[in-house]
Amino acid sequence: MTFPFGVVADDETWRMEQFSRAYVQAISSAAGCSSASSSVDDDSVDLTLMRRRIGSTIRSPRLDVQLKATYTDCIDADHISYPLPIKNYDDLRPTNLAVPRILVVVTMNADAGQWLLHSEANLALYKCGYWLSLHGFPSVSNTTTKTVHLPRLQVFNATNLHDIFLRLEAGQLP
């Protein structure tokens, strides 16, 4: 069987989107969260993560996620730089949201054949996701994109997602 590996073409960004969604869902499952997606993304929310908790300050908190994926060379020593569309930037920065939101940018190889490796013993997803809360970020005069800097310490992994949910359960922001 031949697989559609090779460099992702400009009209195939859906492949990157699906991979980034699978990455976030795998991490979420490991952190004890379920996920749901809306059939319409008009508010810059691709996934909603939920974790059932009873006995915490906030019962069963939720977290909305805007997903982005890139194979560009955007990794610096302490952060990654991502040109976020202004619509997404403006949708992620309000302070009056009922459900907190974060941006997750998944970095990947341009060659889809290097996205994963699997065998009977393991499944490995290659490259990495990073998260950032834009809560309270200032408005900008840009009209197309705003480059945001996601700290490399804010890896989107099960440990960090668990910590985010502990803060949400305590009534705090991510």
- Does the domain at residues 10-169 carry the CATH identifier 3.40.1350.10? yes
DSSP for 36-76, please give it: E--S--SSS-SEEEE---SSSSSSS-EEEEEEEEE-S--B-
Residues 127, 109: contact at Cβ < 8 Å? yes
Residues 57, 169: contact at Cβ < 8 Å? yes
Give the residue extent of every domain in the chain: 10-169
Q: What is the pLDDT along the chain (174 residues), one digit of tens a residue?
A: 346 677 888 777 898 999 999 999 999 999 999 999 988 888 999 999 999 988 889 999 999 999 999 998 899 999 999 999 999 999 999 999 999 999 999 999 888 888 888 889 998 888 899 999 999 999 999 999 999 999 999 999 999 999 999 999 999 999
The pTM assigned to this predicted structure is 0.93
What is the per-residue pLDDT for 13?
Answer: 86
Q: What separation in angstroms does the CA of 67 have from each of 59, 105, 149?
A: 25, 6, 15
Residues 104, 82: contact at Cβ < 8 Å? no
With vertex at residue 166, the alpha carbon angle to CA 161 and CA 170, rounded to the nearest 5 degrees, is 145
What is the per-residue pLDDT for 3?
Answer: 62
- CA–CA dist 18, 110 (Å, integer): 14
Residues 127, 156: contact at Cβ < 8 Å? no
What is the per-residue pLDDT for 77?
Answer: 93
What is the per-residue pLDDT for 1?
Answer: 39
Residue 85 parent element (H or E): strand 79-85
List the one residue out of 32, 97, 91, 31 whose CA is nearest residue 67.
Answer: 91
Residues 150, 130: contact at Cβ < 8 Å? yes
Q: Which residue has the tokens 């359960």?
A: 169
